[in-house]
Amino acid sequence: MSAPAANLTLKLPRPSDRDRVDRIVAATGVFRPDEHAVALEVFDGAVAHPGVDYHALGAYDEGDRLIGFACYGATPCTVHTWDLYWIAVDPGAHRQGTGRALMEASEHDIAARGGTLVVVETSSRPDYGPTRAFYEALGYDPAARIPDFYAPNDDLVTYTKRLDSSRSTSRHV
């Protein structure tokens, strides 16, 4: 059972955190090289032009070191749907509530911006079992599955969560 993430600061990441993002993404061990490159691309877009295509949120420990991040954005051609594009936490900090804190803050921000449906996509692979358990623990429901989407025997699993857009009006990050 993770304790509430004490001494955690959530804020817009700095461009200089790119190396930490690079290391965290590598250290998780679940992303292919092409996915790793896309994670950095999304991070770069989010810090260079916050809110244009992507929003980013960083989680910092008491030494002001980035230990996790999330990137999300409004889904083009929808009225109120947002995609959670990326979330990763340094494996050394897993199960301490950092991922939950990042997701909850992202959801608050999305709700404050009028979003009412959050979509996350992940893989059916066994090594993504903890990730699926994480989303389900946070109230995400499996909504769709496309067999062999990522690769043979590697399905796309789409989770959704409805937000109450009235629940937050002030936690823009």
Ligand X SMILES: CC(C)(COP(=O)(O)OP(=O)(O)OC[C@H]1O[C@@H](n2cnc3c(N)ncnc32)[C@H](O)[C@@H]1OP(=O)(O)O)[C@@H](O)C(=O)NCCC(=O)NCCS
Element (H, E) at 46: helix 33-48
Instruction: Tell me the β-bridge partners of 59.
Output: 10, 68
Tokens of 3: 């304790």
13, 21, 98, 157: which one binds ligand X (CB under 6 A)? 98
Is residue 58 at the binding interface for ligand X, with CB under 6 A as the rule? Answer: no
Q: Which of residues 114-153 bind ligand X (CB under 6 A)?
A: 122, 130-131, 133-134, 137
Q: Least CB distance from residue 165 to ligand X, whole Å?
A: 24
Is residue 78 at the binding interface for ligand X, with CB under 6 A as the rule? Answer: no
> Total binding residues for ligand X by CB under 6 A?
20
Cβ atoms 100, 70 nearer than 8 A: no
Which one, 27 or 48, has the nearer CB to ligand X? 27
Q: Please state, in angstroms and rounded to a whole number, the distance separating the CA atoms of residues 122 and 162.
A: 18
Question: Position of tokens 């009225």?
Answer: 79
* N residues, the chain: 173
Q: Is 115 exposed, middle or buried (0-12, 13-18, 19+ CB in 10 A)?
A: buried
Q: Least CB distance from residue 131 to ligand X, whole Å?
A: 4
Which one, 165 or 171, has the nearer CB to ligand X? 171
Q: Which residues of the shown chain bind ligand X in the complex (CB under 6 A)?
A: 1-2, 28, 30, 87-89, 94-100, 122, 130-131, 133-134, 137
